[in-house]
Amino acid sequence: MSGGQQVQLALTLALARRPQLLVLDEPMAMLDPVARHDFMATVMTPVADDGVSVVLSSHVLAELERVADYLVVLSHGSVQVVGEVDDLLAHHRVLTGPASELEPCSRQWNVVHASRGASQAHLLVRGNGTSDPMPSGWEVHSVTLEELALAYLREPDATAGPGPALGRDAELSVVRN
């Protein structure tokens, strides 16, 4: 059997026992994009139909964004980011603006990660939601789950939730219920 067939068979056997909780560690690592899509559809069916909760550990961030309810980013065994995905995304933004204004903007915002070119800077910032005033001359964009996780993983001292941030060798875990 192919790697994808082995993963599908293992999932089918696990779901046949009608678990209340399904724990999956990197189940999509060997799967091609079509098999990943089919796998996630198979996982989501008992979630929707039977209320099965799933803990899914994965480095494939883009695949998880459409199904994740709760996010835990672990770095060296410690929690770096934790919270409901909708809340985390609502409280983070990407700001793009003039590199010359990076320092004043950094003082105004809780910057998780900054990247800077010769004329333009990009900041991933944490705020308190839509009530935060936007700096003049800066464009504001919503953040994706992948951007959020990568920004925190690039900044070992940044946290969103309890626990210290301890580095870049991290793993993303998602709970769905």
- C-alpha dist (Å) from residue 150 to 32, 60, 81, 145: 22, 11, 11, 9
* CA quadruple 3, 46, 18, 65: dihedral sign: positive
CA 143 from centre of chain:
10
Query: Residue 50 has what pLDDT?
Result: 92
Tens-digit pLDDT profile for residues 4-17: 788 889 999 999 99
CA 69 from centre of chain:
10
- C-alpha dist (Å) from residue 43 to 52, 86, 122, 170: 9, 21, 36, 24
- C-alpha dist (Å) from residue 32 to 27, 60, 176: 12, 12, 23
Residue 167: pLDDT above 60?
no
Query: Residue 163 has what pLDDT?
Result: 30
Query: Residue 18 has what pLDDT?
Result: 93
- Tokens coding 71: 């996010």
Distance between CA atoms of 9 and 145, rounded to whole angstroms? 29
| Domains by residue range for the chain, with CATH | 3-84+170-176 (3.40.50.300), 86-154 (3.30.70)
Residue 161: pLDDT above 80?
no
Between residues 129 and 82, which one has the greater pLDDT? 82
Query: Residue 143 has what pLDDT?
Result: 92
For the residues 100-114, what does the mean pLDDT come to?
83
Tens-digit pLDDT profile for residues 27-64: 888 888 888 888 899 999 999 999 999 998 888 787 78
Q: Are 96 and 137 in contact (CB under 8 A)?
A: no
Mean pLDDT (the chain) is 81
